[in-house]
A = this chain, B = another copy of it.
């Protein structure tokens, strides 16, 4: 007689018609375009790899210092350093096509035209399972203003919708009084899913030097500190829309991930936690699996939205 056999919980999820091995994805800007993740881990164990935001033109980003530690969190003002869509398609897409994981390509622009053009270029490209629209970057000039205006979001998503068949995920900002309204605007314009949250606007100061700690003065706050804000955002969004929601913010272990799923997220993205370890998303998927086994939940989709409120 061997040890009691228990079937491992089923971690598969389907979002916008696409199946993912696990609901634990990387978050944009925290796993590059996959090169390092591939070098140091087994990418086939990831739910999906979400690439760093790519823009039409290459961007240099902001000078050093670009990050700083805060209480249970960090600030960043990377400033969207990226090689631009042409180099992305030429140099990065081939790897994403080869990699044994789902790829979500995240795009960022200054205007609706930019988003439309980016989506056009990527439409029909192999290896792009979903397109994530970063409408929420605190480190670009009008990132927050546009991204907190429901009608701008509606227009932008509608514009992109006409030029691509790839399912669209719209990534929202928490720097707003009504994130649910933003989600509704995106849904009505044809988004297939919502992801939330991007970073909160924050700042840190050198008290001895009397200077900001970031070259760009303010930056985006991420990490465990913002988990409560992210959970509340997901809670509000899932009550306002029908499309799936992908939770992001401060997820550092499998129980954190479970909390987002319980509130109603269909999948989650792990950002800052990757900086502690390239294996973080894979470890988190395993912890989630252990949690499901303890809870005697057979499939992760049975956990989604189970909040008793």
Residues of A within 8 A of B (CB): 70-73, 75, 144-145, 147-148, 173, 175-178, 200-205, 207-212, 217-218, 221, 223-229, 231-232, 235, 250, 255, 258-259, 262-263, 291, 295, 306-309
Interface contact A73-B72, CB-CB below 8 Å: yes
Partner of A175, one of B144, B177, B203, B217: B177
Interface contact A263-B173, CB-CB below 8 Å: no
Separation of A39 and B200 alpha carbons in the complex (Å):
39
In the complex, how many angstroms separate the beta carbon of A219 from the nearest chain B beta carbon? 8
With A205-B307, A232-B202 in contact, do A73 and B225 touch (Cβ < 8 Å)? yes
15 contacts between A and B (CB under 8 A): A70-B227, A71-B227, A175-B177, A176-B176, A200-B228, A200-B229, A202-B231, A203-B235, A205-B231, A205-B262, A205-B307, A207-B255, A209-B308, A211-B308, A218-B232
Separation of A223 and B70 alpha carbons in the complex (Å):
12
Separation of A147 and B178 alpha carbons in the complex (Å):
12
Separation of A144 and B233 alpha carbons in the complex (Å):
14
Partner of A207, one of B72, B291, B308: B291
Q: Please, which residues of chain B bring their CB within 8 A of the CB of A224?
A: 70-72, 225
The winner among A144, A207, A208 for most chain B CB atoms within 10 A is A207
Separation of A217 and B210 alpha carbons in the complex (Å):
40
Separation of A52 and B212 alpha carbons in the complex (Å):
33
Q: Please, which residues of chain B bring their CB within 8 A of the CB of A73?
A: 71-72, 225, 228
Interface contact B210-A221, CB-CB below 8 Å: no
In the complex, how many angstroms separate the beta carbon of A80 from the nearest chain B beta carbon? 19
Q: Please, which residues of chain B bring their CB within 8 A of the CB of A262?
A: 205, 207, 210
Q: Please, which residues of chain B bring their CB within 8 A of the CB of A201?
A: 229, 232
Separation of A184 and B255 alpha carbons in the complex (Å):
42
With A176-B176, A177-B177, A211-B307 in contact, do A229 and B221 touch (Cβ < 8 Å)? yes
In the complex, how many angstroms separate the beta carbon of A297 from the nearest chain B beta carbon? 10
Interface contact A225-B72, CB-CB below 8 Å: yes
User: What 4 pairs between A and B have smallest CB-CB spacing?
Assistant: A202-B228, A71-B224, A148-B177, A225-B225
Separation of A147 and B201 alpha carbons in the complex (Å):
19
